[in-house]
Amino acid sequence: MKVYKFGGASVKDAAGVRNVLKVLQQTGEKQTLVVVSAMGKSTNAFEEVLNLYFKDKQHTQKLEEIKAFHTEIAQDLLDQNNPVFATIDEYFFQIEDFLLKNKSPNYDYVYDQIISYGELLSSQILSAYLNQENLTNDWIDVRDYIKTDSSYREAKVDWETTCDNLQKLKKDQLYITQGFIGSNENYFTTTLGREGSDYSGAIIAYCLDAYSLTIWKDVPGVLNADPRYFENASQLMHISYEEAIELAYYGASVIHPKTLQPLQRKKIPLFVKSFEHPELQGTEIKNGQALDPYIPCFIVKKNQTALTISTHDFAFIDESVLRDVFDTLTENQLKVNLIQISAISLSLCLEDKFNTLDKAIEVIKKRFKVTLYQDCSLYTIRHADQNSLSFIPNTDKTIIKQAGVNTLQLVIKQDE
């Protein structure tokens, strides 16, 4: 069996959904499980609903806009009497009913219960359209299969239970399901981390011993740089799991960081291909395949925060200092993307995904001196050569620079 993952850009409108049908017809739909993300920017739109809800502001209008967006796509694709329209109405009733009755102040819990509807809606519309076009498929609720703990927004997979569940699927059918979501033992919805649909594909591929996982993107494959920030980006045709994990870890947006590990354990190849040109080769990631060729790869992460910590009495940065600082960062779910230690200072590049940075700094300042640089970018160059730095803007504003054998990293203050 093979696993396909289609991201939000591939199903952002009716034309995108029609294109998924063409991709499946061209590549073969038999023995295939399709994982689909929320349509377009639906996840962002649902996040706006939550922000309004938690600020006690009117969220109904935004919900109506999201419903209209999905209904219009369905109307463009489907016969008027298709049962998916009733499903759309039911989903939005469930959302309103949950928000009306909810008593929990836990943002992460509420987030997962609401955000998950983006994937439920997109998969229902795609499944209905494919069935209408005689591409017979079964829609399945991935929450019945992927089981996790209760770490809302960053749930950890119960691999044994998940694999037991998925292995009950028939291998000769076409299935449509959701990325990004699962459920805990009480069947509350959980999510696997932002942009986690790639990871969903990898989980399913691992549990099914899939022939391959293909991620369909709006780029021809994995590029050596993000074309939004760098000119003349080149496609990498072949990459090893190890190199791909490094690139994903440092922030290469084309691959979710968690995706590679389950695939590597079972040596399942990953293909990154263009949904606009499915006939092209794309990029193949597999066991033992060297980066081809060894050219510099540029990765940029925006909206980072640089933090320099030192002791008040010029004491050394020792293990006890590191323990105290990292305990605080862990408690506040702050992601550390770079660490640099000198005798009397600790420099960090942080990602504040859960808006807890101010709370953490308040605790750290009780013991240490803190210098904060906000609105930074983290540039990572794998296999840098003598000309690599010339492609990085504003190097004169570098706050942290760290060079390893294969990796050069710079934290640079963004232009005001």
Annotated binding-site ranges: 5-8, 43, 119, 228
Instruction: Identify the CA nearest to 112 among candidates 126, 98, 124.
Output: 98
User: In the 8-state DSSP scheme, what is residue 148?
Assistant: B
Is 368 in contact with 308 (CB distance < 8 Å)?
no
Annotated binding-site ranges for ATP: 5-8, 228
Annotated binding-site ranges for substrate: 43, 119
Is 379 in contact with 299 (CB distance < 8 Å)?
yes
The beta strand positions in 114-223, using DSSP E, are 138-139, 174-178, 181-183, 189-191, 212-217, 222-223
3-state secondary structure (DSSP) of residue 285: strand
299-330: b or e for each residue (b if 16 or more CB lie within 10 Å)? bbbeebbbbbbbbeeeeebeeebeeebeebbe
Instruction: Identify the CA nearest to 222 among candidates 257, 272, 266, 267.
Output: 272
Sign of the dihedral defined by the CA atoms of residues 284, 286, 289, 294, in that order: positive
374-407: b or e for each residue (b if 16 or more CB lie within 10 Å)? eebbbbbbbbbeeebeebbeeeeeebbbeeeeeb
